[in-house]
Structure 1
Amino acid sequence: MMFKFLHAADLHLDSPLLGLATKSADYAARVDRASRDAFERLIALAIEESCSFVVLAGDIFDGDLRNFETGLFFMDQIRRLEEASIQAFLILGNHDAENRFAAKLSLSTNVHVFNSKHAEAIAIEALQVTVHGRSFPQRDVTENIARDYPAAVAGHFNIGVLHTACQGSESYHAPYAPCTIEQLANHGYDYWALGHVHARAVLHTDPHIVYPGNLQGRSPRETGPKGVTLIAVNDGRISEVTHHDLDVVRWASLSVDATGVDTRTELLDRSRETIEQACAEAGDRALAVRLRLIGETSQHHRLLIDPQSLRDDVAALLATLASDIWLEKLVMATAAPAQPSTLDPTVSGRLAAEIGALGADEMNDLIEARLAEVRAKMPAGAHAEAFFESLRSDAPARARALALSLIGETEAGDAAR
């Protein structure tokens, strides 16, 4: 007997994509639909592949529903599976447990939502399959609930559906329903369908223990392809495990090495090459880019002095690309080329040495003195602490950069005369 099933998790329907709220109204509307569009692709894939059932391993919703239409959308999509005679098994994760409506949705008869008080085992006799699972009763589930999952059913293909931070895979995720790979592997199931961790990962292959990752990346730390895992089973054994990318907007964190770059044009050319490669990898998806400039370059001081100018240039560069792409953030992490160890005897060389030797405390004292002058002229009750804190963090580096840049321009002018 041969059958297929789809494993997905962490849909976070209608979750906002963080960091892109200030873009155009048209783009904002498209981003707002990204999780829904990705879920529609999931449903279409299950139907196209003639799956027998779909497993959703928690966090279908993103905390409390922003509006009940999210629930209605989910129910409508699940009905598409029912029309194709595809069953659905789902557990409620930590975000779903916070949701007032998730446990009350009137779902079609092809759906089974696992109990939140104890683990259940649901058999599909026609396929000789048993699906085991338990929903979260509340957000903070700190005990190892997998220990209480039922024993494997002899002669059946056994699937465990678990929302968990499996040891070694937690990353930035809360340590809910903790367990270990060894524990799951020894439980006797043929496949563990995990959710909660948003990075795609196959933790074990005999038996398979899989995180499909979330369906749609939601922030700059959720980069790369996102989607679902399709499993084919033949005569009670897994014959194929395939990951399918279904994300609509993809996040990319790109680094551009500016080492040896002497002109703004050359820097933008290198940026273009890096971005075009990311666009090719993303295919027809919209791309949200965090661009990080690294390496030693003579442009370093100019970049620090006027970062907005470079942002404008990069934005103009993106506008020339055919792909749907937005700059989420520009990070400048370049450095000035290393200076020779011998002292430059020229006036500008001595000035540069003095600036380089100026201690952090001395620089900070100068800045604090100027900030005090500004503060004294501000109206009473003005809330400016965030502004002053920003100045404190940026001013030392920008002041040094400005001074060194002026010295460099002076040297260039002298050489030209």
Structure 2
Amino acid sequence: MTSIRFIHTADLHLDSPFKGMTELPKERLKELRDSTFNAFDRLISYALKEQPDFIVIAGDVYDGEDRSLRAQQRFHDGMEKLNKAGIPVFLCHGNHDHLGGRWVRFDLPPNVRTFGNEVTEQHLQIRGQDVFLIGFSYPERHVTTSMIDTYPIAERNDAIHIGLLHGSIAGDSTHAVYAPFTKEQLVGKQYDYWALGHIHKRQFIHRDPYIVYPGNLQSRHRNERGIKGFYDVTLEKGSTDLSFIPASSIVFDEIHVSCQDIHHANELLLTCSQEIEKFRSLNGAGVCDLVLTEVSTEVSEMLNTSTIDEWLRLIRETEEEQEPFVWVSSIEVDERVIAMQEVNAVTHSVINLMNDWSMGEWKEVVSDVYQHTKGIRYLEPLNEQDLEDIKRKASSILMKEMAGME
């Protein structure tokens, strides 16, 4: 049986505005706003070098329905390079770049096959192997009804079937639900691979067949932590091999700094610089939150002699000439260790109870904020990382408050 090789990517979000990052120096902000283009360029360079049989893009090439000229030009130029190399591209549009938007259109080269607003099937033959790709593009921003029933069941056992779907698992309230589906529905179509988009965290929903979210190509804010990229897939009947290929131009993440055995300010600053340098050597440029851990009473008192903003300013000044840049967006002090030495059994019980709460119970606790009619427009949907941050900060506040009451 002939094997085929393709790239699976999604959620490029070209020309993302990176809202809320205005504290960055002007030249660093430009680097950040160019990062989606740089990640896209890495994808194109990899494809030109590796020469896959084709590429699938499962939605959200652009960041908004009013696609910028700059984003369209860069995408067009990338597709033209692939066209000259003879690499086909199969593209569906998602909720961010739906077909109903208003924009000055660029005519894409003939190697790009774009799915329309209804589920259709496109055929490709690779070294005698028939390949069918099935998908659709969003006709408008909000496609909240299930589309999976309109996907045909694979009929030819000798052909490879690949489904493209920009959507989310039904009932998953951690993200905005679009074109919902269940794992069982996808498996039931008897396809050989499902190329998903919309969820920015890379993950396997199922194996045999593989149902895959590659995540986005470049993080856009602190909740999208870690290295981002795409999958290089080799597929034949009954066998699938995937390789994750990093593409992030700038990595969003946390840097944990242990304050154990630290007694003086210069020791703390040096330790922070060393941890930032470790991050830089592993990941390149980044936007990171510093989390100070194992904080003793002595270090806590030292930190309190100045404001956190002053410490943050000093660390930023220390790092401003380093390349590639690592921007420290915040400093968080995890004072649970020192606080736990001072609180009583009742506080321990409350903290243990909070640690046992499910995601649903935490959502109920913070529902007053996230269901407020005026505030909700400024908040991203809650995810697991948000709730971990809330849990950590709640525990720290509780322990400090209770310690102060002793």
- Normalised by the shorter chain, which TM-score bucket? 0.7 to 0.9
SS at match of 1:213: coil
Report if the CA contact (8 A) 1:291-1:330 is conserved.
yes
1:246 alignment counterpart: 247
What does residue 113 of structure 1 align with?
114
Maintained 8 Å contact 1:300/1:336: no
Moved more, 35-44 or 294-303: 294-303
Q: Secondary structure at the match of 1:36?
A: helix
Which residue of the partner structure matches residue 373 of structure 2? none
> Secondary structure of the equivalent of 1:41?
helix
Correspondence 1:292 to 2:295: no
Label 1:156 to 1:72 Cα distance change in 2 as closer, same or farther (>3 A): same
Q: Higher mean Cα deviation, 311-320 or 187-196?
A: 311-320
Report if the CA contact (8 A) 2:210-2:240 is conserved.
no
List gaps (5 residues or longer) in structure 2.
343-396
TM-score (norm 2): 0.77
How far apart are residue 38 of structure 1 and its match?
Answer: 1.0
Following TM superposition, by how much is the alpha carbon of 1:195 offset from its aligned partner in structure 2, in angstroms? Answer: 0.2
Shift of 1:227: 0.7
* Counterpart in the other structure of 1:162: 165
Correspondent of 2:235 among 223, 233, 236 = 233
Q: How many residue pairs get matched?
A: 340
Contact 1:38/1:216 (<8 A) preserved:
yes
Residue matched to 2:383: none
Instruction: Find the counterpart in structure 2 of residue 76 from structure 1.
Output: 77
Q: 1:287 to 1:99 in 2, by over 3 A?
A: farther
Q: Deviations over 1:139-194 (max 9, x none)?
A: 111112112101214021100000011257x5742111111222212210000000
Structure ID, larger Rg: 1
- Find the counterpart in structure 2 of residue 144 from structure 1: 146
CA distance in 2, matches of 1:322, 1:14: 23
Paired AA for residue 143 in structure 2: V
Alpha carbons of 1:281 and 1:167: their partners in 2 closer, same or farther (altered >3 Å)?
Answer: farther
Residues 264 and 171 of structure 1: CA distance in aligned 2, closer, same or farther (over 3 Å): farther
How far, CA to CA, are the matches of 2:341 and 2:185 in structure 1?
58
8 Å CA contact retained: 1:300, 1:335: no
Secondary structure of 1:274's match? helix
Equivalent of residue 220 in structure 1, options 206, 219, 222 = 222
**TM-score computed with the length of structure 1 as normaliser:** 0.75
Q: Return the letter of the residue paired with 2:280.
A: C
Q: Bigger CA drift: 304-313 or 242-251?
A: 304-313
CA distances 1:228-247 after superposition (whole Å, capped 9, x unpaired): 1011124x344421110011
Q: Letter of the aligned partner of 1:188 in structure 2?
A: Q
Say if 2:252 and 2:286, in contact at 8 Å, map to a contact too: yes
Q: Which consecutive unaligned segments of at least 5 residues does structure 1 have? A: 342-396, 405-417
Going from structure 1 to structure 2, the CA distance change for 1:11 and 1:340 (only over 3 Å counts) comes to closer
Q: Shift of residue 248 of structure 1?
A: 0.6
Distance 2:104 2:168 in 1: 22
Q: 1:198 aligns with which of 197, 200, 207?
A: 200
Q: 1:306 to 1:17 in 2, by over 3 A?
A: same
Give, in angstroms, the shift of residue 203 of structure 1.
Answer: 1.6
What corresponds to 1:326 in structure 2? 327
Aligned match of 2:25: 24
Q: Give the conservation status (yes or no) of the 8 Å contact 1:61–1:95.
A: yes
Alignment RMSD: 2.7
SS for the counterpart of 1:217 is coil
Q: Tell me the amino acid that sits aligned with residue 246 of structure 2.
A: D
**Cα distance in 2 between the residues matched to 1:336 and 1:4:** 50
Quote the offset at 1:310 in angstroms: 1.2
Relative to 1, partners in 2 of residues 1:133 and 1:274: Cα closer, same or farther, differing over 3 Å?
Answer: same
Shift of 1:306: 2.1
Amino acid at match of 1:132: I
- Match runs of 1:382-393 below 5 Å: none
Note the C-alpha offset of 1:13.
Answer: 0.4
One-letter identity of the residue aligned with 1:88: V
- 1:36 alignment counterpart: 37
Instruction: Output the amino acid matched with 2:51.
Output: S
2:211 pairs with 209, 212, 231, which one? 209
Q: Is the deviation greater in 70-79 or in 127-136?
A: 70-79
Secondary structure at 1:28 match in 2? helix
- What amino acid does structure 2 have at the position aligned with 1:288? V
- In 1, Cα distance between equivalents of 2:341 and 2:16: 52
In the alignment, the residues of structure 1 paired with residue 340 and residue 169 of structure 2 have an alpha-carbon distance, to the nearest angstrom, of 49
Cα separation, 2, equivalents of 1:306 and 1:316: 16
Residues 219 and 251 in structure 2, CA contact (< 8 A), matched pair in contact too = yes
